[in-house]
Chain A
C-alpha cells in the first residue's frame, strides 16, 4: 500500500469535525510550528520538502514563499486558491468536503510562516456546500483557540475568511483571482509585478492551491527531509489525482509520485481499468489544458520505458510525445470516444471562459471552436486542420495569462496525434456523424495490460 499523507484518515467517521480530526493527530503541525519554530524555519522545511505547487504549474512552493516581500508596516496576505475549475480536476472539492480541517491547519501554519494576519480561501462560487463546510470548520477552530488572537498563547494572530467566486474559470489564474477577491472582473494582471511584491490590495501576497497548503501539514509534522524521501527525483511527496472518464473506478486517489501510469489505470488499488470491458484510446493526464496522448504514449515513453506519474516522466519527450502532470486531472477515453468531438468540447470551454482581455485568446478560441464544430458536424474542409494548427500557434505565448496556451495545447496535440481522425471527418462527413473512428493504428490497442506490483 502506498503511503497516504493527506487522505490517511479520510474514511474515519466524523473526520470533518474538529474533535475527531484532533484525535487523529490533527493540529499537531500548528502546535509544533507556532510553539517551537520560527516562521523562517517553517519556510525552510517547506523548501527542503521539494513540494511543488499542486494547482497545475508545479512551481516549488518554498521558493514561491521566499520571494515574498516583507516591507515594514505593510500587511502581507496568504490567499488559498480553491477556485478548482480545470476540467478533469476535482481533488480540492474532495479534500474540502471530507477533511476541511486539513486545509485550515495548513492555512494557519502557512500564514504563520509568511507573517500574514488575515488570510482568505477563495472558493469557486458553485461550491456553496463546501463554503458552508469550511465556514463551520473555521468556527470550530476559532472556538478552540486555533484562530483569532494569540493562537495557543503564541502571540500570533490570524483571521481566516472564505470568499466565494462568481463562476469563472479564469479566476484560477492567481492575479485574476486577486482581482476577483477585490470585487472586480477576473481579468488577469500583467506581470511583473508578481503578487509576491504587489498582490491583494497592492500588498505582498502568496497564492497557493488547496492541496499545496494541506501538504504543508505533513511536511511540518514529519520534517521536510522525510517528505522529500517520498516520490521520485524532483517530484517529491504524494499527489492527489482526480480520475474521470471511462474508468471502472473514477475518483480521487492519493499516489506517491513515480507510480507507473499503467498501474494507476489498471490496478485494482486505483482505477481498476477501462469501464465496460473497453480498451483505452487516449488520456489527458493533467486536466483539460495539457496535451492529449494516445494510449501507447500514455503508458510508455517514446523509447519504450514505462511512463510514470511524475512531473518529469509525464513531460518526457516534450509536446512531441509527452504531456504534463498539471493539476492531476486524469481523464481516460475509451475506444468509442471521438477525439474531434472532445476537442471541440474543450475548445467551447476555453472560448466560454476567455476573459476577453487579449485578442489572440478572445478571437482565437472562438475561431477554433467554430472550425472544430464544422469538422465535427460534417462541414469541414481538409484545409481546416492546418488552419486550426495555425490559429493555435498564434494564440500560444501571445496572451497575458496562460489561458491562451491552455486553449491552444489541446487542439494542437489532438491534431498532432490523431490527424487521421480529423481527416476522416472531412472525407466521411456523413458517416462521421453517427459512427466513431474508433481505435486507430496509432493508439496500438492494448487489450488488458498485465500489471505487476511489488509486494
Chain B
C-alpha cells in the first residue's frame, strides 16, 4: 500500500537533470520510460528516498503518468517510500547467509542500534532491515549500504560494531 508521506516541494538540481538526459539517450526514440528505474536510483541517491512529489516530477520529466512511477517504485524492493536513516544497513537474511549466522547478526544490530527493523535511530543516522539474497553467499554473512551499495563481507559482531563506529565518525 502506497502511503502518502510529507509533500514538501522538491527541486532537481541541474546536475541531476543532466544525468537524466544522459540516461534517456540509451533507449530508442519514444522508449524513454525505460529510463525510469535508473532515474529513480539517481533521485533516491540524491534525496534519500522517493516522496510523491519527487515521483510526480519524474513522471513529468519522462512524460508518463504518475501512477506508472508509483507502481514501479512500490514493486521493487530497493526504492524507499519513506525517509530512512542516513545509513541503511541491509543484511542478507536468505538461506546460505543464515547457515553461517546472519540471524544472530541481525539480532546484534537491532541491539546495538536500539531500533527495530525498518525504524530510524533518534539521530537520524541509522536504520537496518533484512533483505533477500544479495548474491554473495560465498562471503556470508554480508550487508550492503546504499546509495553506493558498498558491500561488507564475512561479517561477525565485532566487524559490525567497527563499521557502525566508523560510520558514526564520518
Which residues on A are within 8 Å of B, measured CB to CB?
75, 84-90, 92-93, 118, 120, 124-129, 159, 161, 163-169, 180-186, 201, 242-246, 250-252, 284, 288, 329, 331, 333-334, 337, 341-342, 345-346, 349, 352-353, 355
Contact = CB atoms under 8 A, between A and B. Distances in A.
Contacts of B93: 345
A166 B41 CA distance: 8
B98 A342 contact: yes
B41 A250 contact: no
B75 A242 contact: no
Contacts of B134: 126
Nearest to B76: A166
B147 to A, nearest CB: 8
Most B-side CB within 10 Å, residue of A87, A161, A185: A87
Contacts of A252: 138
B151 interface: yes
B74 to A, nearest CB: 9
Interface in B7-27: 26
22 contacts: A85-B132, A88-B133, A88-B137, A90-B137, A120-B26, A125-B78, A126-B144, A127-B149, A128-B146, A163-B38, A166-B37, A166-B40, A169-B132, A182-B31, A183-B35, A184-B71, A185-B75, A244-B140, A337-B99, A342-B98, A345-B94, A349-B95
A189 B118 CA distance: 33
Contacts of B151: 129
B135 A166 contact: no
Contacts, number: 154
B6 interface: no
B95 A288 contact: yes
A169 B133 contact: yes
Contacts of A90: 135-139
B165 interface: no
A161 B137 contact: no
Return the 4 tightest CB-CB contacts between A and B, nearest first: A166-B76, A244-B137, A167-B78, A183-B36
B28 A164 contact: no
B79 interface: yes
Most A-side CB within 10 Å, residue of B68, B133, B138: B138
Contacts of B147: 128
Contacts of A86: 133, 135
B142 to A, nearest CB: 10
B100 interface: yes
- Interface size class on chain B is 35 or more
A85 B34 contact: no
B99 A333 contact: yes
A40 to B, nearest CB: 26
B37 A129 contact: no
A164 B37 contact: yes
A246 B138 CA distance: 10
Contacts of A353: 132
A411 B11 CA distance: 49
B129 to A, nearest CB: 12
Given A85-B133, A90-B138, A165 B31 contact: no
A303 B98 CA distance: 33
Given A75-B28, A125-B41, A182-B31, A166 B78 contact: yes
B72 interface: yes
B150 to A, nearest CB: 7
Interface string B61-94: 0101000100110011111000000000000011
A183 B137 CA distance: 29
Given A246-B99, A331-B96, A349-B94, A166 B77 contact: yes
